[in-house]
Amino acid sequence: MNPEVENQIRNNVNWTNLPNTIRQLIGNSQKEYEKCIVSYCIKNQVRFKESLAKQIRRDEKKYYEDLLNYSKENLMLYPYHLSDIYVRGLRITPFNYYLDMMAQLMASEKSYDTLPNFTAFDCVRLLGIGRNQYIDTMNKYRSSSRLRTIGFTRRKPIKSLLPSQPCDILIEPWWRLNPGCITDDDVKLLSSDEKKCLDTIIDYEKPIEAGKLNHECVHLLYRKGLVYLDVCLESSECVEVPPLESFVMNRITGDYFETLLYKLFVSIDDRTCLGELATLLEIDLDLVLNAVSLYCRLSIAKKKKQMDESTFDPSWKDYRSKIRKEVKSEESLLQWNSKKSENFFDDEELRSTTLSINLSESLSLKTPSPRAESSFLMPSPSADKTECGKKIGFLFDSTLTAFLMMGNLSSGLKNHAVTMFEVGKLTDQSLDNFISELEKISSEISEGEAQRYFDHALIFKSTIQFLRHNADLRLFSDFKECENGKKIAVEDEPLGLDLLRCESLASLDEDSRQRILAKNYSILFSMAPYSSSGEAHSSPPLCADSPFHFGPAVPEMNSFWFKLYLYKLIGDGPVSLFLPKGYRLKNVPQMFKNFEKFLIYTWGHDSIVASYSNLLLVLNDLLLHGPILVQCYSEFDEGAQTLHIAFNDTTHPLFEHPSVKKLHQILGLKHFCGYITMINPNGYDDKKFQEWLFLDLRYGIPLFDNKLNLNILSLFKENNLGSLTNLNSMLDISRRVSTELVDFIQNNQTIGIKEDKDVIAKSNDYVINCLNAKALKSKKLYQSVVLFPTQCILFDQDIKIL
């Protein structure tokens, strides 16, 4: 369905008031629009009386039956917001709903991974069926089927293998109880205490808080399906999301409500009320309240302000300890098994960011143990922690969460890693526990990939400790703008730190992301490098209200274009060829003949190293999938030598290299934190300037090399980069460089975003499929977009269009 049509239905616009432009999208057909209305309402579990469907469908009961069948077939979450209809009216409880869903799934012999994340999590909560229980039940079901075929036994009904009652769940005392569908036969089976409790619920004028009734009776009535729970929240209330426990990571469906759940994950914080959050995201308040209500129901989030315990029934004392979820060790995230690790990488963005080789890490020199050199980075002991004001945001990508999950570093660490990936954020309140888990990591030297995981985790720990609540950094918690556009500090205090996943931030539209960042953070730091090129993350936009950002100012700085821009700027760099998708090479270019090894970057992935002998085959194969950048890397099989130089590191032997000096002068690197990578194609350990070429420049804090990380952080403190004077200078330079970079990209594009579509149609298919999809269909033409190349671009001492 067209998004514009969906938007009209969401706003309850009937056919009479429908704009002509929207009518044309559905062929000026009222019947087609009515079909779209019913389809939208069922897919989005819209209440009948509050939708346009009531004008089209006359049978309300049939509408709700169709809605439930569609939800079940598509493995959607139970529509808790319609519990009054389904539990009280149709006697379909969440337990019955998930039981039928699970039975259908098993009867079809589908994989457990078919269940979407939130649905699977709710099934574990109510049915107690996780991955291993599902596999065990499937094996029993198949065994009975095989025995039946040879005449030994009758096949067991699938439901006989499933639980007959819901598990004991955590019910918070502030949740409200409503009577369900109750018959005389149900009442006869109740004890006197249960009858008394049920009478109180029925006779109460409005839904009653669970905490005012007997704890055991409430749970018994719920398990028998005689009551249902409302998790009501007000727009003035705040919630917090602690680290996830036993969250199931299967797959995402991309439906509207699931997308909303993930948007709220990264946006929520315990200082922003739900009404303000809805305003910041420009999302209907009722949708936000429904989504956050689900978080609380699943124990993903908790309300910051709880009920007064003096109003509780005495039976609710220590109520949390009475409900213990019995999860088998194989199912718990604390015992992450290999199957789940494989499923973690079923996500496309993780495959692209983790399975390919990170050049900056694979080529870096060996460094001392991160634990040995990090003591000077610890914050001042006198630094006072603050729970108010803005904080520091540290941006990371999915590669980091993969390292924390795959390294078998610490059992408790994986809950935090799952939270960082799924929620997209780890708040300052959770960092004490996170750091304590990182402290448990052994400093013993490992080998291969395992050492890479250990190094990242330990360097990450020291980076967090350096940035968080460090009074010596003199970072500012808030700013105000003067008439001349400059910012002045309002407060000066040690700041807390939130960890933010850039892919989760990218799921927000540009304006919402800007408002969320501006409200909660005064300064942002990025990890370096981001593992994928350009479109995998979206850097915060540069405007007057943006937080100051020590990282790539715009997404284009994380793309191949930035390399070419810098090569042209200083006239130095390896021979590089930028090829558009679909281009075919008949033979290896002449300028590559003197080299044995080549760096190949594919769009959205990390680099690989290829030999001259198979270069043509590799390039033509990769060009089928996207544009590539190929660079001359080494003249010998042994490979080239690389060195990383921290910005403004005057003690480094290559700091006086002409290219390094030019970069510092033109880009004002003394105001930033990051590093320059130099390459020696000869591979010799030679400090002669003429043997070294500029390869790459990255803004941010690296986590792959301990020595480089310590150097950058110490220079940050030593040069007082957090001072307001420096921050304003950095902002001015970032704006200038970003503008020049975007101009460079547009000047080297044969087709721009605003070109006539007829012109684009005459070009290659990749332009239509890739450039149009990314640029022309954007909500805003001024939104930052990393464009694909549309022609061959060569750098050999200067930029040339081939």
Q: Are residues 438 and 548 in the same domain?
A: yes
Q: What is the distance between the alpha carbons of residues 733 and 184, in angstroms, rounded to a whole number?
A: 76
Q: What is the distance between the alpha carbons of residues 734 and 316, in angstroms, rounded to a whole number?
A: 57
Q: What is the distance between the alpha carbons of residues 430 and 30, in angstroms, rounded to a whole number?
A: 53
Q: Is residue 181 part of a domain?
A: no
Q: Is residue 223 part of a domain?
A: no
Hey, what are 329's tokens?
């060790």
Query: Which pLDDT score, from 0 to 100, does residue 142 have?
Result: 82
Q: Minimal CA–CA distance to 97: which of 117, 131, 74?
A: 74
User: pLDDT band at residue 762, thresholds of 50, 70 and 90?
Assistant: very low
> What range defines the domain where residue 314 resides?
231-322
Residues 159-200 have pLDDT tens digits of 888 999 999 999 999 999 999 999 999 999 999 999 999 999
For residue 725, what is the enclosing H or E element?
Answer: helix 724-747
On whether the CB atoms of residues 560 and 788 are closer than 8 A, the answer is no
- The 3-class secondary structure across 113-161, one letter per residue, is HHCCHHHHHHHHHHHCCCHHHHHHHHHHHHHHHHHHHCCCCCCCCHHHH
pLDDT of 241 above 70:
yes
**Secondary structure class of 678 (helix, strand, coil):** strand
The burial of 698, by beta-carbon neighbours within 10 Å (0-12 exposed, 13-18 middle, 19 or more buried), is given as buried
Q: Minimal CA–CA distance to 124: which of 242, 247, 227?
A: 247
* Domain stops at, among 257, 292, 322: 322
For residue 64, what is the enclosing H or E element?
Answer: helix 60-73
Q: Is residue 531 part of a domain?
A: yes
- Check whether the bond before 555 is cis (ω within 30° of 0): no
On whether the CB atoms of residues 126 and 107 are closer than 8 A, the answer is no
Query: Which pLDDT score, from 0 to 100, does residue 569 have?
Result: 94
Helix residue ranges per DSSP H, 226-316: 256-267, 274-281, 285-297
Residues 6+ apart with CB under 8 A from 709: 370, 459, 462, 463, 701, 702, 703
Q: Are residues 538 and 594 in the same domain?
A: no
Q: Are residues 620 and 541 in the same domain?
A: no
Q: What is the distance between the alpha carbons of residues 76 and 84, in angstroms, rounded to a whole number?
A: 18
Q: What is the distance between the alpha carbons of residues 329 and 336, in angstroms, rounded to a whole number?
A: 9
Q: ∠ at Cα 504 (269, 252), nearest 5°? A: 110
Query: Which pLDDT score, from 0 to 100, does residue 154 have?
Result: 60
Q: Are residues 645 and 540 in the same domain?
A: no
Q: Minimal CA–CA distance to 531: which of 407, 699, 702, 358?
A: 358
pLDDT of 767 above 50:
no
Residues shown for the chain: 802
* Domain stops at, among 553, 584, 618: 553
- Strands 497-501 and 607-611, bridge-based pairing: unpaired
Q: Minimal CA–CA distance to 359: which of 692, 710, 715, 634?
A: 634
Buried b / exposed e over 669-678, threshold 16 CB at 10 Å, is bbbbbbbbbb
Q: Are residues 729 and 780 in the same domain?
A: yes
Going 570 to 572 to 576 to 577, the CA torsion angle's sign is positive
Q: What is the DSSP letter of 557?
A: G
284 — phi, psi (to 5°)? -55, 135
Average pLDDT score over the chain: 82
User: pLDDT band at residue 486, thresholds of 50, 70 and 90?
Assistant: low
For residue 77, what is the enclosing H or E element?
Answer: none
Find the CATH number of the domain harbouring 263. 1.10.10
Q: Are residues 367 and 236 in the same domain?
A: no
Hey, what are 296's tokens?
């609380």
Residues 585-639 have pLDDT tens digits of 888 888 888 899 999 998 877 788 999 989 999 999 999 988 999 999 888 877 7
Q: What is the distance between the alpha carbons of residues 215 and 253, in angstroms, rounded to a whole number?
A: 37
pLDDT of 3 above 90:
no
Q: What is the distance between the alpha carbons of residues 733 and 751, in angstroms, rounded to a whole number?
A: 28
Residue 424 — left, alpha, or beta (φ > 0 → left; ψ -120 to 50 → alpha)?
left
Q: Are residues 310 and 369 in the same domain?
A: no
Least confident of 181-185, 233-237, 643-647, 688-692: 688-692
Query: Which pLDDT score, from 0 to 100, does residue 526 have?
Result: 94
Residues 414-423 have pLDDT tens digits of 889 999 999 9
On whether the CB atoms of residues 96 and 225 are closer than 8 A, the answer is yes
- State in Å, rounded, how far the first CA of the chain is from the last one: 42
Q: What is the distance between the alpha carbons of residues 568 and 562, in angstroms, rounded to a whole number?
A: 10
Q: Is residue 74 part of a domain?
A: no
User: pLDDT band at residue 373, thresholds of 50, 70 and 90?
Assistant: very low
pLDDT of 522 above 50:
yes
How many CA atoms within 13 Å lie on the side-chain side of 124?
26
pLDDT of 213 above 90:
yes
On whether the CB atoms of residues 442 and 455 are closer than 8 A, the answer is no
Q: Are residues 372 and 512 in the same domain?
A: yes
Q: Is residue 155 part of a domain?
A: no
Q: What is the distance between the alpha carbons of residues 123 and 104, in angstroms, rounded to a whole number?
A: 14
Hey, what are 87's tokens?
């539990």
Least confident of 117-131, 217-231, 462-476, 666-680: 462-476
On whether the CB atoms of residues 369 and 619 are closer than 8 A, the answer is no
User: pLDDT band at residue 157, thresholds of 50, 70 and 90?
Assistant: confident
On whether the CB atoms of residues 430 and 243 are closer than 8 A, the answer is yes
On whether the CB atoms of residues 168 and 125 are closer than 8 A, the answer is no
Select the highest-mean-pLDDT range: 402-411, 435-444, 672-681. Answer: 672-681
Query: Which pLDDT score, from 0 to 100, does residue 350 have?
Result: 41
pLDDT of 766 above 50:
no
On whether the CB atoms of residues 394 and 497 are closer than 8 A, the answer is yes
Residues 245-256 have pLDDT tens digits of 889 889 898 888
More confident residue, 92 or 688: 92
Q: What is the distance between the alpha carbons of residues 371 and 265, in angstroms, rounded to a whole number?
A: 33
Percentage of the chain lying above the pLDDT 90 cut: 47
Residues 6+ apart with CB under 8 A from 511: 282
Percentage of the chain lying above the pLDDT 70 cut: 80
Q: Minimal CA–CA distance to 739: which of 563, 569, 542?
A: 542
Q: Is residue 36 part of a domain?
A: no
* Domain stops at, among 502, 522, 553: 553
pLDDT of 724 above 80:
yes
Average the pLDDT over 687-700 and give the result.
87
Q: Is residue 399 part of a domain?
A: yes
Q: Minimal CA–CA distance to 575: which of 631, 625, 503, 653?
A: 631
User: pLDDT band at residue 474, thresholds of 50, 70 and 90?
Assistant: confident
Q: Are residues 421 and 488 in the same domain?
A: yes
Strand partners, 610: 598
Query: Which pLDDT score, from 0 to 100, does residue 152 have?
Result: 52
Residues 12-47 have pLDDT tens digits of 888 989 999 988 988 899 999 999 999 999 999 999
Q: Are residues 612 and 704 in the same domain?
A: yes
Residues 541-579 have pLDDT tens digits of 555 567 899 999 888 888 889 999 999 999 999 999 999
Max CA distance (Å), the chain: 93
Residue with tokens 């993903």: 300
Average the pLDDT over 426-435 and give the result.
93
Q: Is residue 107 part of a domain?
A: no
> Distance from CA of residue 360 to its chain's centroid?
23
Q: Are residues 606 and 672 in the same domain?
A: yes
Residues 307-366 have pLDDT tens digits of 777 788 888 887 766 555 443 433 443 333 333 333 433 444 443 433 333 444 444 434
Hey, what are 748's tokens?
């080297």
Residues 6+ apart with CB under 8 A from 380: 470, 471, 472, 494
Hey, what are 287's tokens?
């949708």
Query: Which pLDDT score, from 0 to 100, does residue 483 have?
Result: 64
For residue 188, what is the enclosing H or E element?
Answer: helix 184-188
User: pLDDT band at residue 445, thresholds of 50, 70 and 90?
Assistant: low
Q: What is the DSSP letter of 78?
A: P
Counting the structural domains of the chain, the total is: 3
More confident residue, 778 or 558: 558
Q: ∠ at Cα 220 (214, 221), nearest 5°? A: 90
CB atoms within 10 A of CB 593: 8
pLDDT of 270 above 80:
yes
Average the pLDDT over 235-241 and give the result.
93
Q: What is the distance between the alpha carbons of residues 117 and 121, in angstroms, rounded to a whole number?
A: 6
Hey, what are 554's tokens?
């715009």
Average the pLDDT over 207-224 and give the result.
93
Q: Minimal CA–CA distance to 567: which of 729, 691, 677, 651?
A: 677
Q: Are residues 603 and 749 in the same domain?
A: yes
